[in-house]
Structure formats: structure tokens, C-alpha cells
Amino acid sequence: MSAIEVEKNRVGETSSACKGNKHNMTTTPGDTQNHDPNPSAAPPGLPIPVSDLEVKYTKIFINNEWHDSSCGRKIPVYNPATGEKICEVEEGDEEDVDKAVKAAKEAFQLGSVWRRMDASDRGRLLNKLADLVERDQLILATMETIDSGKLFLIAYFVDLMAAIKTLRYYGGWSDKIQGRTIPVDGEYFTFTRHEPVGVCGQIIPWNFPLLMFIWKIAPALCCGNTVVIKPAEQTPLTALHMAALMKEAGFPPGVVNVVPGYGSTAGAAIASHMYIDKVAFTGSTEVGKLIKEAAGKSNLKRVTLELGGKNPNIIFADADLDHAVEQAHHGLFFNQGQCCLAGSRIFVEETIYDEFVRKSVERAKRRVLGNPFIPGVDQGPQIDKKQFDKILELIESGRKEGAKLECGGSPWGDKGLFIQPTVFSDVTDEMRIAKEEIFGPVQQIMKFKTLDEVIKRANSTHYGLVAGVFTQNINKALTIASSLQAGTVWVNCYNAMSSQCPFGGFKMSGNGREMGEYGLQEYTEIKTVTIKIPQKNS
Amino acid sequence: MRNLLQVRMLRSVLASKFPPISRLSLRVPASQYSATASAIPAPNTQPEIHFNKIFINNEWHDAVSKKTFPTVNPSTAEVICQVAEGDKADVDKAVNAAKQAFRLGSPWRRMDASHRGLLLNRLADLIERDSAYLAALETLDNGKPYALSYSVDLSVVVKCLRYYAGWADKNHGKTIPIDGDYFCYTRHEPVGVCGQIIPWNFPLFMQASKLGPALATGNTVVMKVAEQTPLTALYVASLIKEAGFPEGVVNIVPGYGRTAGAAISSHMDIDKVAFTGSTEVGQLIQQAASRNLKKVTLELGGKSPNIILSDANLEDAVEQAHSAVFFNQGQVCCAGSRTYVQEDIYNEFVERSVERAKKRVVGDPFSLQTEQGPQVDEAQFKKVLGYISAGKRDGAKLMCGGGVAADRGYFIQPTIFGEVKDNMTIAREEIFGPVMQILKFKTLEEVIERGNDTQYGLAAAVFTRDIDKAHYISAALRAGTVWVNCYNVCGVQAPFGGYKASGNGREFGEYGLEAYTEVKTVTIKVPAKPTGS
């Protein structure tokens, strides 16, 4: 595609970004932006979305059964690409959370099927679940796109693949969570048991609905916990489909319970529940504070939080410039900018600053918006009106505070919640767009001179989730890697996530780590057993 | 270790009155939600032989010499088929293939660790798919009861592969806070080309237990399977190809120990050799390995003490001690072949053990009622009978059995000797047959000393209800595994291996990865240590 076509797209093309409806929400030829909109012209070998997706599961999942909500209310679920309602989902509230917790507690009682199961069999169940997700990969990717607006091919190849890999990864850990025997002083024999924590409440966001679901349940189940999980009200559909797959895989009733609902009601009920032993939350720093407070006020439940970020991505003059531009572009614009790990503060060394900005703008202008089902589309809609308005408001603040708007800056299309890819240059550290998490397609490019300066500026934030550095110089790379206060540092790459690596935040980006072996700690209680023995020998 | 068994299964399979079929199928899953389930399918008593050649580079080859050897059905002493006889030239070819598959930049070296795990899981799925066939083939070639081949051997093979599949992307190196302005980390790298020589007592399981950790950690393999039992390993080779392992990653050479086995252990381009078998051959392997100082792991013989204190649950102890020695026709390296019984329960224990042994069903291994099949070959058959003669000659009291159990094939009666003394041949040497020695002891200190008075140190067990005694004895015994109130419980998650002349190194569990991992320390000069780190 060319820049001219994009221009035509932005200005002249007025057709709706996505004409889907409940039963055919995927690819209607000719319904998107200008460039080659015909899906039948998609390169061969690409997955084809399910054309008449049926949403089968819209209720609350407790004890492997579907329940209506106690309050009788329903949540409307919208397609953000069209603004049309997909369906309604039962709205869980405190009473439903209570039911779910009761089921989870029952499933966790001593002597229960779940507690007595061999650890390796828990692993088998997770592996089976991975097989089922793989079987339903097209359905789930289609559903995810309709519900969240993310690109279908990304949903299929990134979200779903990562979900499957994560299930298999933790499937492998289940019988490898090893306690220790300990050479304690005195005539004693001491060992540790790594036991599950118990009933885990899990509250997940809308930006990677399915993947976040898997990130939460996989380590929890691997360690033998039971779960009450609340998907985001914006994106409950894939979580409910997963519930059905968990039952099919053979997880006992009550082991995983899925309660769709709002944060202020169902989420709050989880965070403050007296019988929930641990709560894990992924979302905003603001809500993370509420969760921790509720946990402290109620029963001192364990808390893990994966929160926001304002992540520095540092580009040195000696970096491979084209590579850095491309990585920084994806580091920010991936998933419509709706990533807690978005590289939203790009620090560029002054000798290459102008060229970097020019190339970044050029790259952003090539970005194609439209129907997220169409191959070739790079960017779908934002998740909802609230986010959409917030992003536009922050763009406006950038303008007002004197940043230079290089491109974008406005909504796109006449339907759906699309925002033009936006690049700001001449951004300074005190501007709101340099301090606040925007969670949208808005790139801030700043200038720096020295290593020490950029370290100081990069760390000057209350966040500490991730960071990137691009340089060919091994000393600079290692200095930056050890100096930045961030849970993850990428060198000459960005967004390089995998199930094997721990992920989590320094400072106000969170507490604890998810993924990797470290992720197991959050779902394990350590019990020290000490036995008096008649005589000790080495 | 030549054995290893899975053994919760055993407990139900071999539980006191021999098993109605329903009991066999009861075994594994504690519940309907368990992911495994096994009802034993009717055996095909004449499984077709699909593969009888040498497997190199995912292809089938005749021996360079064109020679073949016969593999025999030990139930009938009839030849099943001829198999290509690998020798040094074939081992060379296999090593070349394995080396090529291991070169820098090869598909196998560049593969994601998680994908190695995926391939191992796929292999487990394929073996699970073909379990009934493989179990029948194992029984035909080895003589072990089909019900056990299916429910014990095949089940644990699948579990073992899945277990190590999970390790593939979890074999973590470390970053190390070294002194000075350096950044230091370790890479856990594969060792390289691994030679693996496996025995005939658990052919499939020994194969899985060798391949699992080697492939999870990214090595390539040249495996020699026992000449008595090559058939199932060759079928699995075809599944390895079907699962999608790149060519040259696994190469399987059937052949004899003194030719193909010797070629592996002395090969200059093999980086590591793992052997399971007799202590005598283990010594030869260790010597041959010194040529290029390849790494060596050995799982060898045992003469494992099983100590029954007078406060034990007697009925359970009798049953467990019975299975401990008679399981797999006694062809188990961790067999509890010295049963020490405290004197005040000695007579009753012997009496009940004899009663139990007499009930043991010996016969056609394809019959689902059969507990005991034939010994694996004529040499073993004669060796075991020779030990029985020695026991009689040395003055042990033959309580039951002692003779041949059928007029063809290599069947031996379940045999028990009472009043066995520590210096008798049958109390010192590994018999590897269905022969139980019951010895008497008085005190804990005495039995610990006697239990440890052996060149071996593979396994041991103690039966008691007293927590102090259990801990004291389990700490005091010089053995790689100690069971308390159970026997033969070998989960793939738990390490297994020998003290003393029972071996070097450990297999299974996380410990089992060490033998297949080279640790590389990478140290990088950094400009200055950042403050506050």
C-alpha cells in the first residue's frame, strides 16, 4: 500500500470500518478502507475467520454449570468496530461471586477430587485444554476480534498462540513444583511442601481478554488452586467460551468459576471477599490501589497486581536506525496502543533525533486502519467510548502543552471508535502525554544527550513495568539494562514476551511477577514441616 | 537401573489376591477427572513386526555387514524374526548423523526449547495411540505379562515423555553476582551426541527414560537397544519420525554389547554415554569412556535390602515384599532381594510369604490372569537356576519353588529361601530372577550394618509404623532410594540411581537433566557496576 492510498482512505473513503452484525461480523467485501478490501484476495494459507459466529455462552459459569445472574441484570456487549451490540451477558454481582466462591471452596476442600489428583494429571488437563483451544482457534480469534476490535490475524497468531503456549508451559510445571529438604540445626528433619494458596480471585482486563484469562488460570491451576475469575465487562465472550472448554477438558466442578460483571460490583466483591485467599488483578494502577486496600481491609488476602506503565524506549545514535524505528513503532502502536507495556516515551539521542522522527512519522502514516478482520489492516478501533474520549483528551493536552503534532491527532472514519495513528515530537518530560498512560495510538518522541541523563529521565516516573534500549554498544546495553527501574528490559527488541519469562512491575506498575517459574510463587504457600528425629546424620 | 516401574499401578495390579480384570482397570485415576484412564484392551497375541532394521537419519538401513540376528519369544523359545545387526560401522554412520543434526545452525539446534517439548509431547501422544500394539509387542519379545506391559510399562513411558517434555523450556541457567565489574551468566547447553545403551528388562521404558531427558535438553542420540528385545524400540523409532523430530536427532542401532555397545562407549565423537545394565559391564563402559573422557552415567545392579520391623503392618509388608522381588520375573535392578525380617515375626512372615508365592500365577504372559512370565532368555534362565542350586548348596532352606515351571520357554517357579545367611552367594549376588531371600535380624543397628554390607547401593526399604525408626533407617542406609512402607514406587518426578557400585549419576526428576546438560559460564566486562544493584 502507498501513502497516497492511505491519504485517500483517510479523506475520501467514508464507508464504514466494519459492517458486521451479530451473525456475520467478519468480512464483507468492500466494507473497509481503500486498499484491497476483498478478503478473498487474502494471501493463501491465512486463517479465515468464522463467518457466522454463534455466541453460545452468555451466562455465569459456576460448578461447571451455567447460571443466570442473581440480580437479573445483563451486560450489553458491543463490537467496537461498528458500535453494534453483539449480545447480552448475565451480569454477575456480589451474590454471584458468593456462589462462585462457595463452589471454589468446595472444590478445594481436603480430600476433594481436585486436591487428591496427581500433580501430573493437573498438567495433563492443562495440556488437554491447550489442545481444545487449538481446535477452536478460529472461533476464539474471531470472537476476540468482534468483542475487542483487535486485528483478527493478531488475535489468531499472537493472542491465541501465546495462550496455547502458556497452557502447555504451565502444564509442564505442575509436577515440577518442588519443595525442599533442609539441613536444619538440631535433631530434626525439615522439609517444605509447596501447597496451593486456595481460592484465587482473578480480575482481568479487556485489552488481551483471552490471553489474560490464560495467564491467570494456567499458573493457578498448575499449582492446584481453585479460581473465581471476572472477565472485563467489555470483553466477556472468549472467557465464557473458555469456561466451556475447561468443562470439556475435564476439570472438576468448582475448580474454575467465571463471573462476568463490572469492577465496581463483582470486582469489588472479589477483592474484599473473606473466603478468597488471593487476588490477582491486571488493569489500571488506580484500580490496583483499590484492590490492595480492599484486600487489606478484608482478610489480608495475598495480592498480585499487574498495572500500568509509561515505558521508556531508548534509542542511541549507534543503533540500527530502521530497525529501531520499526520496533519503536510496534512498541507503541501494537494492539491500538492498548498495552500496559507500550513504549510510550521514546527517548532518542539528539544526533539522530530528526531523522528518527521523520522516519517514525512516515511509518505511522503508512498504518492502515479499518475492519480488523481484513488482512492488511494494521489498526482496529479502541475498545470503548470512554477510552476513545480519554485518548482524544490527552492528544488535545499534548497540543496545548506545546508538543509538536507530527501526524494524526483525530478520530478516523464515521463509524466505530477509530483514532488516527498519532505522533508527537518535541515532547518534554513534564507534559501530561509524557507522564500519563494514554493507552492509545499516540507516540511521544523525546530528545536526550547523555547516557546518565536518559537513565535519570527514564526512571523519573512512578511506573516501572518495561523498558527498551537500542544500541550496538554492549556496554551501553548492559549499563541501561541494569540501571532502569523496570520489570523487563528489552535490548534491540520490544514486546518480546514469552511464557518462560517473568513479567511484572517495579514501583507502581505492580506487585509480583507473572509467567515463568517466578509466576508459580504467587500461587504457592510454603509449609515448613519439622519432625523430631532420634539422631541426626549428614 | 534396569527396571523402574510405575507402581502405584503395581500396588493395585499385584494386590493380594491376584487381580480380577476389573481391578487392573481400576488403577491409575483417582477419579473420573483424571486425565489418564486405562481399561486393558484384549491383546493381539501375534502382533505384526513392522520394523527390524537400523534407524539412522529417520531412515531404515541394513547393517553394513548385512548381518542379522534372531530375536526370540521367551515364552516358546521360538524365533520371532531377524533383526539387522549393528556393529562399529553402523555406529559410525549413526554418530555421523547425530553429529550433523547437532551442528551449529541445524534445525534441531535452532528450535525453540518449547518446541522440543511439543515434539516430546507428540511422541507421547503417538505412543499412547499405539499402546495396545506396543504392549503386545513388548510381551512377545520380552515375556512380561501383557496386563503389566500395557498398564505399567506403557503408562509410565507416556508419563516419562510428558514429564521431560515439560522440562524442555524450564532448564534454567542463572545470572550470577560475580565480584568486580562483570556481568556473569550461565547457559545450560546440551552435551552433544549421546550414546545410550539400554537393557532388556523394561525395553520401552528404558528407551523413554533415556530419550526424555536427552531430547528435552537438546542433545542428539545414538541408542543401542538390547539384542534380546529390539522390536518395540524400533517401532518407537518410526513414531519419532512421525512426531516430526528432525533427521539424525535419534538414531537407533540394534546389536550386541561387545560390538555395537563397545563401539559406542569408546567412540571419539560421542560426548556422553549412558548405560543401564550390569555392574560388570558398567565397569567396562567407564574404562572405554576414558579414551575421550566422555561423560558417563551408569545405572547398574543392586542387592537391595528390604527391612521389615516387627511393628509393621504384616499383611501389607508381606504383599509389598513379594512384589518387591517377584515383579517383572525378578528382573528388576532394584528388586528387594534381601528381605530382612525382625526375629519375633520372622516365622510368620516366611510362612505368609510362601503362601503368597505359591498363589503366584505363572504362565502365558498374554493371559490377563498371569502374574509371571518367562525369564528373558536361556542365558538368564540358566543363571537363575544356577543361583537356586547355589542357595541349596550353601544351606539355605528352600521353602517353595526352586525348579522349572513349564516344559518349554524359560519359566521358573516362584522360589523362596528361608534361613539365608549374609555370606551365602544368594545373599550377595544379583540373581535377577524370581528368587526371594528372607533373612533374620534382631536390632536396628545390626540390620543397618548388614543392610549396608554390600558393594551395591541402589534401593532399600523399611516397613514400620514408628516414625523415629523410619527416619533413622532411611537416613542410615547407603542407597539411592529408600522406600518407607512401600516398594518400587518410582515416579518419573523422583531421581533414581545408585550409591557405590550401583552406578554413577541420577536419572529422572530434575536431577536427571544434569547428566545431559553442559553448563557454560559467560562473563562480560561491563563499564561500571551501577550503584544500588
- Look at A479 and B159 and tell me if their CB atoms are within 8 Å: no
Share of chain A above pLDDT 70, in %: 92
B53 contact A CB<8A: no
Structure letter (DSSP) for residue B22: H
> What is the pLDDT, as a whole number, of residue A43?
65
> What is the pLDDT, as a whole number, of residue A141?
98
**Candidates A169, A482, A517; nearest CB to B172:** A517
**By C-alpha distance, which of B357, B359, B341 is closest to B349?**
B341
- Look at A172 and B165 and tell me if their CB atoms are within 8 Å: yes
Contacts of A113 in chain B (CB under 8 A): 30-31, 33
Tell me the residues of chain A between 119 and 148 that have a Cβ less than 8 Å away from chain B.
119-121, 123-125, 127-128
In this predicted structure, the answer to whether residue B243 has a pLDDT above a threshold of 90 is: yes
> What is the pLDDT, as a whole number, of residue A42?
56
Contacts of A115 in chain B (CB under 8 A): none
- Look at B168 and A172 and tell me if their CB atoms are within 8 Å: yes
Query: A115: exposed, middle or buried (C-beta count within 10 Å: 0-12, 13-18, 19+)?
Result: middle
Share of chain B above pLDDT 70, in %: 92
Q: What number is the average pLDDT over the span A136-151?
A: 98
For residue B99 the three cell numbers come to 553429529
Which of B6, B9, B31, B522 to mutate against chain A (most A CBs within 10 Å)?
A: B31
The full DSSP string for B385-410 is HHHHHHHHHHT-EEEE--SB-SSSSS
A452 contact B CB<8A: no
B529 to chain A: closest CA residue: A479
**Candidates B35, B510, B526; nearest CB to A128:** B35
B124 to chain A: closest CA residue: A124
What does pLDDT average to over chain B?
A: 92
Q: How far apart are CA B366 and CA B374, in angstroms?
A: 11
B31 contact A CB<8A: yes
A112 contact B CB<8A: no
Q: What number is the average pLDDT over the span A258-266?
A: 98
Question: For residue A314, what are the β-bridge partners?
Answer: A347, A469
Share of chain B above pLDDT 90, in %: 90
**By C-alpha distance, which of A409, A408, A426, A421 is closest to A348?**
A426
Q: How far apart are CA B237 and CA B252, in angstroms?
A: 7
Q: How far apart are CA A226 and CA A201, in angstroms?
A: 9
A246 to chain B: closest CA residue: B33
B163 contact A CB<8A: yes
Mind listing the pLDDT tens digit for each residue in B350-380?
999 999 999 999 999 999 999 999 999 999 9
Nearest CA to CA, how far is A359 from chain B (Å)? 32
**By C-alpha distance, which of B457, B459, B497, B452 is closest to B476?**
B452
- Look at B166 and A117 and tell me if their CB atoms are within 8 Å: no
Mind listing the pLDDT tens digit for each residue in A473-494?
999 999 999 999 999 999 999 9
Using DSSP's 3-state secondary structure scheme, residue B513 falls into: helix
Q: How far apart are CA A30 and CA A46, in angstroms?
A: 19
Nearest CA to CA, how far is A425 from chain B (Å)? 31
Q: How far apart are CA B66 and CA B62, in angstroms?
A: 6
Mind listing the pLDDT tens digit for each residue in A119-139?
999 999 999 999 999 999 999
- Look at A127 and B530 and tell me if their CB atoms are within 8 Å: no
A208 contact B CB<8A: no
A22 vs A460: which has the higher pLDDT: A460
Mind listing the pLDDT tens digit for each residue in B41-58?
999 999 999 999 999 999
Mind listing the pLDDT tens digit for each residue in A93-104?
999 999 999 999
Is A430 a catalytic site residue? no
Q: What number is the average pLDDT over the span A400-404?
A: 98
Identify the active-site residue in A13, A91, A306, A514: A306
A483 to chain B: closest CA residue: B530
Which of B471, B482, B510, B523 to mutate against chain A (most A CBs within 10 Å)?
A: B471
B470 to chain A: closest CA residue: A533
Q: What is the pTM of this model?
A: 0.89
Task: pLDDT band for A433, please (50, 70, 90 cuts).
Answer: very high
B172 contact A CB<8A: yes
Query: Three-state SS string across A205-253, please?
Result: CCCCHHHHHHHHHHHHHHCCCEEEEECCCCCCHHHHHHHHHHHHHCCCC
> What is the pLDDT, as a whole number, of residue B530?
53
Contacts of A121 in chain B (CB under 8 A): 29, 33-36
In this predicted structure, the answer to whether residue B7 has a pLDDT above a threshold of 90 is: no
Angle at A414 between CA A408 and CA A415, to 5 degrees: 110
Q: How far apart are CA B436 and CA B325, in angstroms?
A: 6
Q: Are residues B404 and B411 in contact, defined by beta-carbon separation less than 8 angstroms? A: yes
Task: pLDDT band for B28, please (50, 70, 90 cuts).
Answer: very low
In this predicted structure, the answer to whether residue B190 has a pLDDT above a threshold of 60 is: yes
**By C-alpha distance, which of A308, A365, A385 is closest to A11?**
A365
Contacts of B117 in chain A (CB under 8 A): 168, 172
Helices and strands per DSSP (H, E), number in chain B: 19, 20
Q: How far apart are CA A340 and CA A333, in angstroms?
A: 12
Q: How far apart are CA A58 and CA A65, in angstroms?
A: 12
Q: What are phi and psi of B281, to 5 degrees?
A: -70, -35
In this predicted structure, the answer to whether residue B481 has a pLDDT above a threshold of 80 is: yes
Q: What number is the average pLDDT over the span B437-461?
A: 97
Nearest CA to CA, how far is A264 from chain B (Å)? 35
Least confident of A392-396, B23-27, B86-90, B231-235: B23-27
Mind listing the pLDDT tens digit for each residue in B299-317?
999 999 999 999 999 999 9
A224 contact B CB<8A: no
**Candidates B183, B468, B530; nearest CB to A533:** B468
For A399, the enclosing helix (H) or strand (E) is helix A385-400
Share of chain A above pLDDT 90, in %: 91
- Look at B166 and A175 and tell me if their CB atoms are within 8 Å: yes
Q: How far apart are CA A301 and CA A199, in angstroms?
A: 10
For B347, the enclosing helix (H) or strand (E) is helix B343-358
- Look at A475 and B527 and tell me if their CB atoms are within 8 Å: yes
> What is the pLDDT, as a whole number, of residue B198?
98
Using DSSP's 3-state secondary structure scheme, residue B383 falls into: helix
Which of A170, A533, A536 to mutate against chain B (most B CBs within 10 Å)?
A: A533
- Look at A169 and B493 and tell me if their CB atoms are within 8 Å: no
- Look at B166 and A499 and tell me if their CB atoms are within 8 Å: no
Q: What number is the average pLDDT over the span A445-465?
A: 97
> What is the pLDDT, as a whole number, of residue A27?
41
> What is the pLDDT, as a whole number, of residue A191?
95
Which of A478, A484, A515, A536 to mutate against chain B (most B CBs within 10 Å)?
A: A478
Q: What number is the average pLDDT over the span A64-79?
A: 97
Is B371 a catalytic site residue? no
Position of cell 576414558? B290
**Candidates B34, B510, B527; nearest CB to A178:** B510
- Look at B169 and A116 and tell me if their CB atoms are within 8 Å: no
**Candidates A128, A252, A537; nearest CB to B476:** A537
Contacts of B31 in chain A (CB under 8 A): 113, 116-117, 252
Q: Hey, which bits of A231-325 come out as E strands?
A: 256-258, 278-282, 302-306, 312-315
In this predicted structure, the answer to whether residue A403 has a pLDDT above a threshold of 70 is: yes
B352 contact A CB<8A: no
A188 to chain B: closest CA residue: B471
A506 contact B CB<8A: no
In this predicted structure, the answer to whether residue B20 has a pLDDT above a threshold of 50 is: no
In this predicted structure, the answer to whether residue B33 has a pLDDT above a threshold of 90 is: no
Name the packing angle between helices A119-135 and A161-173 (round to 10°).
170
Contacts of B472 in chain A (CB under 8 A): 533-535
Contacts of A189 in chain B (CB under 8 A): 471, 475
In this predicted structure, the answer to whether residue A16 has a pLDDT above a threshold of 80 is: no
Task: pLDDT band for B527, please (50, 70, 90 cuts).
Answer: confident
Q: How far apart are CA B102 and CA B117, in angstroms?
A: 17
Mind listing the pLDDT tens digit for each residue in B145-182?
999 999 999 999 999 999 999 999 999 999 999 899 99
Q: Quote the longest CA-to-CA distance of chain B.
A: 82
Q: Are strands B295-299 and B272-276 parallel, antiparallel or unpaired?
A: parallel
Q: How far apart are CA B149 and CA A441, in angstroms?
A: 60
Mind listing the pLDDT tens digit for each residue in A148-204?
999 999 999 999 999 999 999 999 999 999 999 999 999 999 999 999 999 999 999
A110 contact B CB<8A: no
**By C-alpha distance, which of A469, A467, A465, A466 is closest to A509?**
A465
Contacts of A174 in chain B (CB under 8 A): 166
In this predicted structure, the answer to whether residue A9 has a pLDDT above a threshold of 60 is: no
> What is the pLDDT, as a whole number, of residue A88?
98
> What is the pLDDT, as a whole number, of residue A173?
98
**Candidates B114, B167, B524; nearest CB to A478:** B524
In this predicted structure, the answer to whether residue B120 has a pLDDT above a threshold of 60 is: yes
Contacts of A168 in chain B (CB under 8 A): 114, 117-118, 121
In this predicted structure, the answer to whether residue A23 has a pLDDT above a threshold of 90 is: no
> What is the pLDDT, as a whole number, of residue B531?
52
> What is the pLDDT, as a whole number, of residue A6?
32
